[in-house]
Amino acid sequence: MPPPPFFRPSAAPSRREEVAAYLQARRAWRTALIVLVAVLAGLVAAFFARLCDAAMELHGRLYEWSPAFTLSLLPIGFATAVWLTRRFAPEAAGSGIPQVIAAAEQRWRGRWGGRRVTLRTGAWKVVMAAWLLLCGASIGREGPTVQVVAGVMRTLTRGLKGGPGRRAMIIAGGAAGVAAAFNTPIAGVVFAFEELARSFERRTHTTVILVVVVAGFTAYALQGDYAYFGTLSGQTDLRAAWLAAPVIGLISGVAGGVFSRLLAYVIGPGSNPVARWRQGRPVFFAFLCGLVAVGAALISGGVTFGAGYHEARALLHGDEGGGLNLAVWKFVASLAAAVSGAPGGIFAPSLATGAGIGSALSESFLAFAGRDAVVLGMAGYLSGVVQAPLTSAVILMEMTRDPGLVAPLMLTSLLARWVSGLIMPQPIYHVLADSWRLTPTHKTP
């Protein structure tokens, strides 16, 4: 008589069960490593944000102490940043987002990304961006954060076998960079799907969301629960916003398209007299760009310094007047910084320029829209520059924590994207990514 089942010795695991257990343990290890690296990426993003904030604060104190000395830093800062970057880390030039797009879409010498997204490139980006903000350059840290975090994710997960590939890590890191820089996790995911890559494997979606959540939470834990421009919910007049959205979308889209067209003309992959002159004398060209930035600062009364966060926030919270001044001269200063070839992003300066456009329209014939015109102007101009309407709408909704404006934001962003496309047929980040695809990594496009 055989013993009851509960007295029988357990059978040895089959070969299939052993393989399944091994694969499950391996997946758990991969996930744990990705989470750990995402935590580190969030720490890096938070450190970079505080460093840039400290640099802008120190610039403000220097300007109070000696305006003439501080203004002289602009051309010197541009020239030294371009010279050092071209000599030691040419892949750190510019925004950083085009490099991430190129790295995610192209193998370089048999591996994803080449030197475009590495820890060394990211470290140089951090130092140079902080230096330029100390000098008063009209740049943002958001694009550089994308490249820095993508470099962290790509480099520290390179030993993973199976699961998400190197390309997925680059895309996830870029998305986490946006989320951590603006404290906007949804916008980070949308940015990855809309801008960083046009096609995904199914498992990439999960990786992107996991990395964005972990890195975003880490940055949140260090920096606190904050809205980038403060909480504005409950103040929306939807009827006024709907009426203002088409006008603001068209005007801001034209401005954004012109900005992108000029930027592509100077530093895009094409050949023209200005681009050839810039390539031939890059440091002198950067010095001249610094002089243009000095002129913009003097004429505008100093509103063009830095990322433009404080100026945009002031307009959002009721400061009247000065919208046109900010829009015009922030446009000029940001373009000068972008074409110089120095490390620095265009996201935050674009938001400040858009805030100026919205405020100027509100001060003229859209007075009924009030503060909503400023928010719509930011979304419209950003969409016009980068031609990513979903990201532009979602990022403004999260930055202001005003979900009531999401539909007018979408209308403004879509109209701005459409009219910008008539001026600049291809999105600027992808135009500049073409330069990085075509250019060897030891040269700066």
Predicted confidence (pLDDT) per residue in 36-57, tens digit: 888 888 899 889 989 999 999 9
Q: Report the b/e string of 130-148 with b at 16+ CB within 10 A.
A: bbbbbbbbbbbbbbbbbbb
Global confidence as pTM: 0.89
Per-residue model confidence (pLDDT) at position 130? 95
Tell me 107's DSSP state: E
The three-point CA angle 73-77-80 to 5° equals: 140
Per-residue model confidence (pLDDT) at position 441? 47
What are the pLDDT digits (tens) for 163-178? 566 777 888 888 888 8
Q: Rounded to an integer, what distance in angstroms lies between the CA atom of residue 373 and that of residue 105?
A: 37
Residue 337: pLDDT over 90: yes
- For 218-244, what is the mean pLDDT? 71
Find, among 250, 247, 51, the residue nearest to 148 by Cα.
51
- CA 339, 342, 343, 346 dihedral sign is negative
Residue 248: pLDDT over 70: yes
Report helix, strand or coil for 345: strand
- For 338-356, what is the mean pLDDT? 93
Query: Widest CA span of the chain, in angstroms?
Result: 102
Q: Rounded to an integer, what distance in angstroms lies between the CA atom of residue 131 and that of residue 183?
A: 23
Report helix, strand or coil for 396: helix
185 to 32, 171, 220, 348: CA distances (angstroms): 20, 14, 10, 17
Tell me 193's DSSP state: I
What lies within 8 Å, CB to CB, of 215 at 6+ separation is: 38, 39, 41, 42, 45, 149, 176, 179, 180
Q: Report the b/e string of 330-343 with b at 16+ CB within 10 A.
A: bbbbbbbbbbbbbb
Tell me which of 201 and 88 has the higher pLDDT: 88
Residue 139: pLDDT over 90: yes
Report helix, strand or coil for 108: strand
What are the pLDDT digits (tens) for 116-135? 788 888 899 999 999 999 99
Helix 309-316 and helix 323-340, axial crossing angle in degrees, nearest 10: 160
Q: Is residue 102 within 8 Å of 433, Cβ to Cβ?
A: yes
Q: Is residue 136 within 8 Å of 70, Cβ to Cβ?
A: yes
Q: Is residue 435 within 8 Å of 98, Cβ to Cβ?
A: yes
Residue-range domains of the chain with CATH: 25-223 (1.10.3080.10), 238-438 (1.10.3080.10)
Per-residue model confidence (pLDDT) at position 135? 95
